[in-house]
Amino acid sequence: MNPKQLILASNIQTHLCLQRHLLVTFFKTGALLCSRDVSRGFLVYPPSLRLFAEGHAEAETRLPSGATTRHFHPSNMLSRLVLVSASSLKGSGALGAGLIQASRSLHTSSQSLAPVPPLPEKGGKVRHGIIPEELFQLLYPKTGVTGPYMLGVGLLTYILSKEIYVINHETFAAASIGAVFIYGVKKFGPSVAAFADKLNEDKVAKAQEVKDLAMTSLAQAIEDEKKEQWRAEGRSVLFDAKRNNVAMLLETNYRERLHMVTNEVKRRLDYQIALQNLHRQMEQEHMVSWVEKSVISSITPQQEKESIAKCITDLKALAKATQAKATA
């Protein structure tokens, strides 16, 4: 292994170390640019991804000790795969901010908080989309408002003039890609973010709906059960009604029997009386008819003639009397 290779390897290592820093910031800023949903842990970015981003912060603190190793970390491969923007070299000062943000969940205590406290609604404040506000605050006391800008310009000039970064064809490629990327994000970022937010909102709304429905149905079920218990309490009335019915039927039956007995006795007595009356009536009639018959048969023809003559003279006298009365 000759020194040249060694230097080359170490160069690549440090270059990759820088790239890893940039990866962290890229992830964070990319996340912050594209979606406001850093706070909805389980919905867009599951905790695993959060930890991945955070884990990288740990990796970068661990890495300087392993900077002399010559074989490649798997995370190196990943950072090479993901990172294409040389333009984010400007944001190399974001290193500190990444660590600051990571401090929230760096598992410094042995026990993790439960329930997990909610993530902040918005990510850390950034200026110009990449540079965290903390840098400006850091430098403000010493250098005022223009401090970080001067730092940035100075760094850029240094890098360009000392040919630490060499301008080549790929610079223009990177610049164009960066321009397109920034244009795309600025134009479509909010709508994409809104769309993603809406997806999450829909999920939460659905879950909330399920929960509300469950709660109302449970409350309703409790009410219904109580009502059924109240209903069941009234069962004794039914049996009272039945017993009443039975008693009434018995009483009715008894009275009917009484009435029947009385009526039957009365009927029999009335029958006797009617029988007696009938007897007497028949005797009377028979007697009367017999008397009549005997009387009629005892009338002789002589008696009949005399009675008819007497009737005629009586009638004449009567007629004369009435005539006299009429003329008078």
Partner 1 sequence: MAGRRVALKAIDWVAFAERIPPNQKSMFNALKTRSDAISAKLTSLPETPAAIDWSYYKSAVAKAGMVDEFEKKFKALQIPEPVDTQTSTINAQEAEANKSASAYIEGSKARIVQYEKELDKFKNMIPFDQMTIEDLNNTFPETKLDKVKHPYWPHKPIAEL
Q: By the criterion CB under 8 A, which residues form the site for partner 1?
A: 39-43, 46-47, 115-116, 118, 204, 207-208, 211, 214-215, 218-219, 221-222, 225-226, 228-259, 261-263, 265-266, 268-269, 272-273, 276
SS3 113: coil
What type of residue is 204? Answer: V
Closest distance to partner 1 from the beta carbon of 33 (Å)? 22
Identify each DSSP E strand in the chain by its residue range: 126-127, 131-132
Alpha-carbon separation of residue 41 from 37, 207, 295 (angstroms): 8, 15, 140
Closest distance to partner 1 from the beta carbon of 271 (Å)? 10
Give 204 or 299: the residue with its C-beta nearer to partner 1.
Answer: 204
Read out DSSP for 155-208?
HHHHHHHTTSS---HHHHHHHHHHHHHHHHHHHHHHHHHHHHHHHHHHHHHHHH
Give 43 or 182: the residue with its C-beta nearer to partner 1.
Answer: 43
Q: Are 175 and 87 in contact (CB under 8 A)?
A: yes
Give 226 or 310: the residue with its C-beta nearer to partner 1.
Answer: 226
* Residue in the block written with tokens 């009927």: 267
Give 228 or 314: the residue with its C-beta nearer to partner 1.
Answer: 228
Give 53 or 97: the residue with its C-beta nearer to partner 1.
Answer: 53
Q: What is the CA radius of gyration of the chain?
A: 64
Q: Quote the CA–CA distance of 102 and 21 in Å, as a whole number.
A: 13
Closest distance to partner 1 from the beta carbon of 291 (Å)? 24
Give 238 or 324: the residue with its C-beta nearer to partner 1.
Answer: 238
Q: Quote the CA–CA distance of 249 and 244 in Å, as a whole number.
A: 8
Closest distance to partner 1 from the beta carbon of 299 (Å)? 38
Closest distance to partner 1 from the beta carbon of 81 (Å)? 21
Closest distance to partner 1 from the beta carbon of 193 (Å)? 16
Beta bridge partners of 131: 127
